[in-house]
Chain A
Amino acid sequence: MDETLAVINTLEAEGVIGKYAIGGAVALLFYAEPTTTYYLDIFCYRPQTQSGLINIGPLYDYLSQRGYKSEGEHISIEGIPVQFLPPPTELVKESLENAADKQVNGVPTRVFDYEYLLAIMVETGRPKDRSRITDVLESAKPDPNKLDEILKRYGLLDRWSKIVT
């Protein structure tokens, strides 16, 4: 995965994407027991038009010129399907701003904090998110104060309680 991250770091360094961080199930790998997943979700800022449309052309051009092919909504980079996503909610924006510095085989990257990942899964609220929350809590405990503070601020405490009780 380090080779994929090195390419993504270059995208950021050259201004093709803004600040990025890994979210989704791959981010959970940094904190909890591994579970099967396939897509590397990269949350990042990208230029928007005045009407709010996101111009993905420069990103796709940059990657295709380097031999990386798009497959549906993903682009395969060094053997891993990657999806570049704008932060869709204030919670995800805050997660991106506060992402933790990590390394994979010496390659630097940023990853959403565990507590933010849990809060995002509560906010998203799909059945697979609720199931994943109970799974990951069995293998890794979050900082309860930090999680509580995030959940309270985003009005997610009730939903959290329903999932974990």
Chain B
Amino acid sequence: MSYSEKFTTSEELFRQKADARRESAARTVEEKIETLVKLQKLTKDVARAAGRSYKEPWNIKPAIRT
């Protein structure tokens, strides 16, 4: 499938972004903790690559347990 002619509006793109934020907020706290640790790791990687100081991500067991 080609997406070379997939049209949308800026309003639609921002609506989708807002929907995604609300969906993210509605997740369980355990899922959000997993996301938080990923964000902390990403922030560390970016800071380290740029030669800036950084904080260590939380060193915890996975929040979502099976």
A-side interface residues toward B, CB under 8 Å?
1-4, 29-38, 78-80, 102, 104-105, 138-140
CB distance from A105 to the nearest CB of B (A): 6
In the bound complex, do residue A140 and residue B25 qualify as a contact, i.e. CB atoms below 8 Å apart?
yes
Give CA–CA (A139, B61) in the complex, Å.
Answer: 27
Q: Which residue of B lies closest to A79 (CB)?
A: B59
User: CB < 8 Å: which of A105, A138, A140 contacts B30?
Assistant: A105
On chain A, the residues within 8 Å of B6 by CB distance are: none
Given contacts A38-B40, A80-B58, contact A33 B33 (CB under 8 A): no
Counting from the closest, the 7 A-B pairs by CB-CB distance are: A79-B59, A139-B25, A139-B21, A33-B24, A79-B60, A34-B35, A36-B39
In the bound complex, do residue B36 and residue A105 qualify as a contact, i.e. CB atoms below 8 Å apart?
no
Given contacts A34-B35, A35-B39, A105-B30, contact A139 B60 (CB under 8 A): no
On chain A, the residues within 8 Å of B40 by CB distance are: 36, 38
Given contacts A29-B36, A105-B30, contact A140 B60 (CB under 8 A): no
Give CA–CA (A32, B29) in the complex, Å.
Answer: 10
Given contacts A34-B39, A36-B39, A105-B30, contact A4 B22 (CB under 8 A): no
On chain A, the residues within 8 Å of B61 by CB distance are: 3
User: CB < 8 Å: which of A1, A35, A140 contacts B33?
Assistant: A1
Give CA–CA (A130, B51) in the complex, Å.
Answer: 29
User: CB < 8 Å: which of B32, B55, B59, B60 contacts A29?
Assistant: B32
In the bound complex, do residue A31 and residue B25 qualify as a contact, i.e. CB atoms below 8 Å apart?
yes
In the bound complex, do residue B25 and residue A104 qualify as a contact, i.e. CB atoms below 8 Å apart?
no
On chain B, the residues within 8 Å of A36 by CB distance are: 36, 39-40, 43
CB distance from B31 to the nearest CB of A (A): 9
> 14 A-B Cβ contacts within 8 A?
A1-B33, A1-B58, A3-B61, A29-B29, A29-B32, A30-B29, A33-B24, A34-B35, A78-B60, A80-B60, A104-B30, A104-B33, A104-B63, A105-B65
